[in-house]
């Protein structure tokens, strides 16, 4: 009976549509096609101009629904026009639409009604204002200072723990600067690692202190005349949709905050499935979770394995804030459980039951092979496999040659483990099938391969932190290639980019990375090496980032590490 009624209704509507078409034709009007009538409608659009009517390009326009924890941003194009796509997270409701850049007077449009099937039109006229010193990025401050490339590469690393404004607020003698540099380096200040550009090693401390005395010694001025780095405004660089998710304990921006304040969350790594995005907090033992539909954030404390984490390090690594020992890497195992890494421990979270299982073995960064075995480097330098299918978590140790320092570790689809030997500028690879090990020097000496990801062809893509490049390592072809973040940029030269990590998008054949010092992201074509530069809509400090596998469009997730801490989804239109 229901089918009969539906058929009659369909025939009736078809008859009405036919009559309407005949009537329209009699008046010489062509009825719109079905595809035309179904054209998606932008929920919000407008233009951004200067007071004299000139278009402003590359301006992020943000929309936040009332009482929502999600903020969506798009960018104005070269004509000043912006529009939110129909597929974005902007839904019907009451919104605040705003532009809150540090180099323009803030403009808020409150109670903007967005309705289904209609486009709300909101235009902005922006008045430019000088960028305040507190809002300058590390990249902009370094560019304004005198000095050689080597001196600037060393000093740029100071922005990893705090802003350069914080570093330069007090003048000091040479001996005073030596004490500060050693304090910030912690135990690493006693290291002798000539294969890296790290400021913390013994042979770099005096040169950095000399430079700091030149630019901020006794009697020097605290006024640094800097220039704002132009934001990218071409079509490719403004073709983004960015969704920011507020986090519990997110805090507020403070350019004089040293990292590690425990009252705030410091999101470090991120992974996501179809329902949730998960993140680690670098300074507390909890797993964070964002509901991708509602934006609701939840913090889930977990038991720390015996002898693991920051407490296992005793006095820590000696650096202010004790950043060592915290939770870092996240991976999904084959059962979609979340695996969390930290010093001397691993934690498994089962989303189906909400159960946490601590393992008193592991490391902050680890590999996960096709059989769900965890691979990590032990304190004695041996490569360790943890059999997660056994109740006793059986361990197998594989001796490998001693090295001066490994940062990250990843395992490919063939079960081989790649090691990022960043203090020697090498990539190591271990194959358990024949228990073989080999090392390969990266083309640029001292470049510091730090973190990255393996693609579907088992190629490793790693961020070279010191040289500002991306490294590709193909273990099957025994091939290594390097790509600059910015076309034409040479290693260890302006703008002194510091990429911490890289993530590979097999579907779209691109690699994502970022610059620690400038709130910028880079998307590189795997085949051509050509990159596109993006500027984030807010001042993010980015460490890890991760591609969303299977997303309908190129998508990467970024934890904004420094308060105001957020989890950020970035999509290419």
The confidence score (pLDDT) of residue 159 equals: 93
Q: Are 73 and 59 in contact (CB under 8 A)?
A: no
The angle at the Cα of 544, spanning 540 to 547, to the nearest 5 degrees, equals 100
Least confident of 91-105, 289-303, 314-328: 314-328
Neighbours of 403 (CB within 10 A): 18
Q: Are 559 and 568 in contact (CB under 8 A)?
A: yes
**Using H for helix, E for strand and C for coil, what is the string for 255-273?**
CCCCCCCCCCCCEEEEEEC
Average pLDDT for the chain: 91
Structure tokens given for 388:
């997660």
333 vs 238, 340, 341, 454, CA distance in Å?
35, 11, 13, 15
Average pLDDT for 193-205: 91
Q: Which of 480, 490, 379, 367 is nearest to 432 (CA)?
A: 367
The pLDDT tens digits for 55-85 are 999 999 999 999 999 999 999 999 999 999 9
pLDDT exceeds cutoff 50 at 207: yes
What lies within 8 Å, CB to CB, of 17 at 6+ separation is none
The pLDDT tens digits for 94-150 are 999 999 999 999 999 999 999 999 999 999 999 999 999 999 999 999 999 999 999
What lies within 8 Å, CB to CB, of 547 at 6+ separation is 453, 503, 504, 505, 512, 554, 555, 556, 557
The confidence score (pLDDT) of residue 437 equals: 97
Residue 345: its H or E element: strand 345-350
The pLDDT tens digits for 460-499 are 999 999 999 999 999 999 999 999 999 999 999 999 999 9
3-state secondary structure of 383: strand
Please tell me the pTM assigned to this model: 0.91
107 vs 49, 83, 325, 467, 515, CA distance in Å?
12, 17, 42, 39, 28
The confidence score (pLDDT) of residue 315 equals: 56
Average pLDDT for 286-292: 97
The confidence score (pLDDT) of residue 310 equals: 83
Which domains, from first to last, does the chain contain? 44-125 (2.60.40.1120), 133-216 (no CATH), 236-572 (2.130.10.10)
State percent of the chain over pLDDT 90.
84
Neighbours of 4 (CB within 10 A): 8
The confidence score (pLDDT) of residue 331 equals: 97
Instruction: Please report where in the chains the tokens 């934001």 appear, as a residue.
Output: 231
The confidence score (pLDDT) of residue 314 equals: 62
Q: Are 557 and 272 in contact (CB under 8 A)?
A: yes
The confidence score (pLDDT) of residue 10 equals: 35
Residue 13 — pLDDT band, cuts 50, 70, 90? very low
Residue 17 — pLDDT band, cuts 50, 70, 90? very low
Q: Could you tell me the sign of the dihedral formed by the alpha carbons of 192, 195, 200, 205, in that order?
A: positive
CA 459 to chain centroid, in Å, comes to 21
pLDDT exceeds cutoff 60 at 177: yes
Structure tokens given for 3:
């089918």
pLDDT exceeds cutoff 80 at 277: yes
Structure tokens given for 271:
């992974």
pLDDT exceeds cutoff 70 at 22: no
The torsion defined by the Cα of 261, 263, 266 and 270, in degrees rounded to 10, comes to 160
The pLDDT tens digits for 499-528 are 999 999 999 999 999 999 999 999 999 999
Instruction: Please report where in the chains the tokens 């798009």 appear, as a residue.
Output: 74
Q: How far apart are CA 513 and CA 497, in angstroms?
A: 11
**Residue 14, Cβ density class (10 Å: 0-12 exposed, 13-18 middle, ≥19 buried):** exposed
């Amino acid at each position: 009976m229901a089918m009969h009624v539906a058929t009659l209704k369909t025939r009736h509507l078809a008859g009405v549509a036919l009559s309407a078409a005949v009537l329209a034709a009699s008046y010489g009007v062509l009825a719109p096609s079905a595809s035309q009538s179904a054209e998606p409608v932008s929920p919000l659009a407008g233009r951004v101009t200067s007071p004299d009517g000139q278009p402003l390009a590359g301006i992020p326009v943000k929309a936040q629904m009332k009482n929502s924890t999600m903020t969506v941003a798009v960018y104005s194009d070269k004509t000043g026009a912006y529009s939110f796509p129909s597929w974005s997270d902007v839904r019907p409701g009451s919104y605040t639409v705003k532009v809150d850049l540090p180099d323009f007077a803030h403009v808020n449009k409150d109670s903007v009604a967005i309705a289904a099937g209609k486009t709300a039109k909101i235009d902005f006229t922006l008045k430019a204002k000088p960028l305040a010193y507190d809002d300058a990025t590390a990249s902009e401050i370094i560019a304004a200072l005198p000095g050689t490339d080597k001196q600037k590469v060393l000093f740029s690393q100071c922005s990893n723990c705090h802003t350069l404004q914080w570093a330069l607020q007090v003048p000091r003698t040479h001996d005073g600067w030596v004490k500060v540099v050693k304090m910030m380096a912690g135990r690493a200040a006693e290291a002798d690692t000539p294969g890296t550009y790290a400021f913390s090693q013994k042979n770099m401390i005096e040169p950095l202190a000399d430079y700091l005395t030149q630019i901020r010694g006794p009697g020097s001025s605290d006024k640094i005349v800097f220039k704002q780095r132009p934001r990218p405004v071409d079509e490719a660089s403004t073709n983004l949709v960015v969704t920011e998710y507020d986090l519990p304990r997110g805090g507020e921006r403070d350019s004089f905050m040293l990292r590690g304040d425990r009252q705030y969350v410091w999101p470090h790594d991120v992974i996501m499935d179809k329902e949730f995005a998960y993140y680690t907090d670098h300074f507390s033992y909890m797993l964070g979770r964002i509901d991708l539909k509602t934006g609701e954030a939840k913090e889930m404390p977990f038991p720390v394995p015996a002898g693991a984490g920051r407490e296992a390090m005793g006095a820590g690594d000696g650096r202010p804030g004790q950043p060592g020992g915290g939770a870092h890497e996240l991976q999904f195992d084959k059962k979609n459980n979340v695996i969390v890494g930290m010093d001397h421990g691993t934690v498994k979270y089962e989303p189906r039951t909400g159960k946490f299982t601590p393992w008193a073995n592991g490391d902050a960064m680890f590999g996960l092979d096709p059989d769900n075995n965890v691979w990590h480097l032990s304190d004695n330098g041996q490569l360790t496999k943890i059999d997660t299918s056994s109740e006793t978590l059986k361990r197998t140790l594989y001796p490998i040659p001693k090295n001066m320092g490994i940062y990250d570790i990843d395992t490919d689809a063939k079960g081989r483990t790649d090691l990022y030997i960043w203090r020697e500028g090498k990539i190591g690879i271990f194959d358990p099938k024949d228990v073989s090990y080999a090392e390969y020097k990266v083309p640029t000496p001292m470049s510091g391969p730090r973190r990255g990801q393996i693609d579907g062809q088992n190629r490793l893509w790693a961020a070279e932190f010191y040289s500002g490049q991306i490294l590709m390592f193909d273990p099957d072809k025994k091939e290594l290639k390097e790509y600059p973040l910015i076309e034409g940029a040479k290693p260890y030269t302006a703008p002194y980019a510091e990429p911490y990590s890289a993530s590979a998008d097999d579907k779209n054949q691109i690699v994502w990375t970022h610059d620690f010092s400038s709130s910028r992201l880079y998307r590189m074509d795997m085949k051509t090496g050509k990159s596109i530069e993006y500027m984030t809509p807010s001042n993010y400090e980015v460490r890890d980032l991760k591609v969303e596998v299977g997303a309908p469009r190129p998508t990467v997730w970024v934890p904004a590490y420094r308060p105001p801490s957020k989890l950020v989804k970035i999509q290419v239109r």
